[in-house]
Structure 1
Amino acid sequence: MSLTAAGATRQRAAPEPAPPREKALSTSDEKSIDRQGDIETATVDADIEEAILSNERDIATHVISVNDDPNLNPWTFRAFFLGIGLSAFGGVLAEIYYFKPQTVLVSLMFLAIISYVLGVFMETVIPRHGLFRYLNPGPFNKKENAFIVIMASASANSALGTEVLAVQRLYYNITPNPGVSIFLLF
């Protein structure tokens, strides 16, 4: 019951029942739960198998592959070259735009995509035979991509010590020694 503006009461309508699920699990259906690795799976019918995702760990292991291939090498020339290059790109951009009103941030998604594209490009361009065979050991793999992204994302943020150096120069009229500045930011 609810009170209206005139003070009279009226009956509130009962809420409608929720629509039934498209496929309800009846008592005659067989349901079995199996553990495959770290994920529980439930078999409702003979040919339908669904993963039971109960927490964030289950979701992450369902979406991301948890299998590791020890033969994949992340320490390649491509990984170091692209990692250092993208680190310099992100770090320089972050420092140039640090004191400007409109900052430019290098996104982690951008780094992941551009490192993959450049890695596959380097895989096709660098020769696999002859003297340069050590620079291109095989196909570009996910470990190389992860190594490049971790390396580049670590340097894509501006160094907070830059503020200390700027304050010394602008407000206290102290020009710091370049060696001290480099070691402070290193």
Structure 2
Amino acid sequence: MIRSPHPRAFPSVRHQRGAVLYVALIMLLLLALIGIAGIQVAGMQEKMASNYRAASRSFQNTEGAVRNAEDAVEAITNRNAPVDGSLVDITSITQNCEDGFDPVQWGRDLAKNNEAAPKVRVRQIDQCGGPGSNSQDQGLPIDQATATFQITAYAADDPANPTSRSVIDTIFKL
């Protein structure tokens, strides 16, 4: 047997079919699809985080408006001047028990008008009949010693470009 001086490490070119090329192209295609899916998921998560941030800011701004109103109502009730920049003054406190106020509709109306600045509505309700009252004592004070107020506040996340709005309706008893 005669041996060739140069042993062949690879089969001849005519026996190769290019299978590695096809496998490499399929792998690159799969990696590209995984990358596109990852980009879409990251984009969706960014949008969700942005919406959560806007809703949280809106709620915090509304809660700040409620706290501002509570401070002003307490100052007015104690016959002190409210703090400068307050959203409530003595003329903005109503005492009408049967005004048919709906906080949800009020918030929708403000949102429809694209309001972004905080708004507050205060109603003194200690003179109104509450749970457990009957028809003979409607309109009579339930508790002479304390004043009770319904405070409803509205605010948006960003005054310049509101994307989320909140309404908070609370009962504040001194």
Which bin holds the TM-score, normalised by the shorter protein? under 0.3
In terms of fraction of residues, the more strand-rich structure is 2
- Relative contact order, CA 8 A, sep 6+: which one is greater? 2
**Higher Rg:** 2
